[in-house]
């Protein structure tokens, strides 16, 4: 079992037993590998706090010849992108990049993939806020292309017929690209208008200028990318981090489109449970209201209004967790 050292980025970690962790690494010389870090959860572990997700460092691995789980003996931190954790948009994009790489990345050497992931994390840290939406889409499309799943936009993915360069585009994420009018079913493919088609072409082309997207069109492009990755890249598996990024459900009010949750009487929690707790609210509407259940307790100190928000977060085993927060608002 040879000992080797290679640059690596931590994609994910999983607790194993009482004291160890299983770490998923994107290495420059050996592709995406899984390794066990023995004793990493101990208070006086030699790893310390080095095994943080998205951390760049020098990994020392003992490769196993009989199984796919190797042994991580050391991890020397080179860079920890702490600035990503201060912005939820940037952090969720970085987690989506790491998740797609961990799920689909090859186990063979792929230096270009590692360099692209490292460059993408650096760009996310320095990108201006106004360009972050389009940049996030481009980085994920570039990652998909590097993995070998570039969408076909100039020819039909079924019959190979050439697609006209102008006009709307029928795009089927499940098929992997565009469809001609003869191959497209009555329902299923997304119909992209001229502007949306031009924006998608610019997003998948690394040398093009970033398109300007408003909130509605940006949300549509996120959903399109998420469907493409799920059905064409991940073989139908749900990627919680990518779904969380595409929906952007953080900080939105559950009162947006659920009139049954108005706090006219009873508890909003009870009303939500009775209504089934299904669906996500619209981010364009935010209702302000006072909590009758808590107004007596807080009337003397903070009688202001509150907003009940649902927060989504990717959980283990392809699950998505959600929890609720009362966010105070000022009059």
Closest listed residue to residue 40, CA positions, set 27, 50, 54, 25: 50
Tell me: pLDDT of 215 over 80: yes
The verdict on 242 and 156 lying in the same domain is yes
The verdict on 177 and 160 lying in the same domain is yes
The verdict on 122 and 229 lying in the same domain is yes
The verdict on 154 and 260 lying in the same domain is no
* Domain stop point among 38, 60, 80: 80
The verdict on 234 and 256 lying in the same domain is no
- For the chain, the domain total comes to 3
DSSP state for residue 2 in the 8-state scheme: -
Burial (CB < 10 A; 0-12, 13-18, 19+), residue 74, is middle
Note the pLDDT of residue 300. Answer: 34
The verdict on 140 and 217 lying in the same domain is yes
Tell me: pLDDT of 202 over 60: yes
Note the pLDDT of residue 313. Answer: 61
Contacting residues for 324 by C-beta, under 8 A, at least 6 apart: 254, 269, 308, 309, 310, 311
Alpha-carbon distance 255 to 262, whole Å?
A: 7
Mean pLDDT of the chain, nearest integer: 80
* Domain stop point among 214, 229, 246: 246
Percent of the chain at pLDDT > 90 equals: 53
The pLDDT confidence band at residue 311, using thresholds 50, 70 and 90, is low
* Domain stop point among 80, 101, 129: 80
The verdict on 185 and 61 lying in the same domain is no
The verdict on 196 and 281 lying in the same domain is no
The CATH number of residue 15's host domain is 2.40.50.140
Between 251 and 146, residue with greater pLDDT: 146
For the segment 80-123, what is each residue's pLDDT rounded down to a tens digit?
Answer: 998 898 888 999 999 999 999 999 999 999 999 999 999 999 99
Between 38 and 321, residue with greater pLDDT: 38
For the segment 273-297, what is each residue's pLDDT rounded down to a tens digit?
Answer: 333 444 333 332 233 333 333 333 3
Alpha-carbon distance 310 to 29, whole Å?
A: 42
Tell me: pLDDT of 271 over 50: no
Measured from the Cβ of residue 57, the count of other Cβ atoms closer than 10 Å reads: 20
The CATH number of residue 133's host domain is 1.20.1440.120
The verdict on 208 and 121 lying in the same domain is yes
Tell me: pLDDT of 315 over 90: no
Tell me: pLDDT of 125 over 70: yes
The verdict on 184 and 229 lying in the same domain is yes
In a domain, 317, yes or no: yes
Q: Which domain holds residue 263?
A: 252-329
């Amino acid at each position: 079992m040879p000992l080797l050292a290679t640059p690596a980025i931590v994609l994910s970690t999983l607790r194993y037993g009482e004291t160890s962790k299983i770490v998923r690494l994107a290495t420059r010389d050996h592709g995406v590998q899984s390794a066990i870090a023995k004793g990493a959860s101990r208070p006086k572990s030699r790893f310390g706090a080095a095994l943080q997700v998205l951390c760049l460092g020098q990994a020392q691995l003992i490769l196993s010849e009989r199984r796919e789980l190797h042994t991580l003996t050391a991890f020397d931190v080179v860079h920890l992108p702490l600035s990503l954790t201060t912005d939820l948009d940037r952090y969720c994009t970085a987690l989506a990049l790491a998740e797609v790489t961990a799920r689909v990345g090859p186990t063979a050497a792929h230096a270009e993939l590692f360099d692209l992931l490292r460059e993408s994390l650096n760009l996310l840290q320095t990108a201006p806020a106004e360009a972050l939406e389009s940049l996030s889409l481009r980085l994920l499309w570039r990652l998909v292309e590097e993995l070998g799943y570039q969408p076909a936009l100039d020819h039909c993915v079924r019959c190979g017929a050439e697609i006209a360069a102008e006009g709307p585009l029928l795009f089927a994420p499940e098929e992997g690209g565009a469809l001609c009018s003869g191959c497209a079913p009555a329902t299923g493919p997304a119909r992209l208008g001229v502007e949306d088609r031009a924006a998608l072409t610019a997003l998948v082309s690394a040398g093009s200028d970033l398109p300007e997207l408003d909130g509605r069109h940006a949300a549509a492009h996120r959903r399109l990318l998420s469907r493409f990755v799920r059905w064409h890249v991940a073989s139908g598996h749900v990627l919680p981090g990518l779904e969380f990024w595409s929906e952007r459900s953080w900080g939105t009010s559950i009162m947006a489109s659920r009139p049954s949750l108005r706090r006219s009487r009873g508890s909003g929690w009870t009303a939500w449970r009775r209504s089934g707790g299904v669906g996500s609210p619209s981010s364009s509407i935010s209702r302000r209201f006072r909590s009758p259940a808590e107004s007596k307790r807080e009337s003397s100190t903070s009688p202001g209004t509150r907003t009940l928000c649902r927060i989504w977060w990717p959980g283990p085993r392809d699950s998505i967790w959600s929890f609720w927060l009362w966010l105070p608002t000022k009059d």
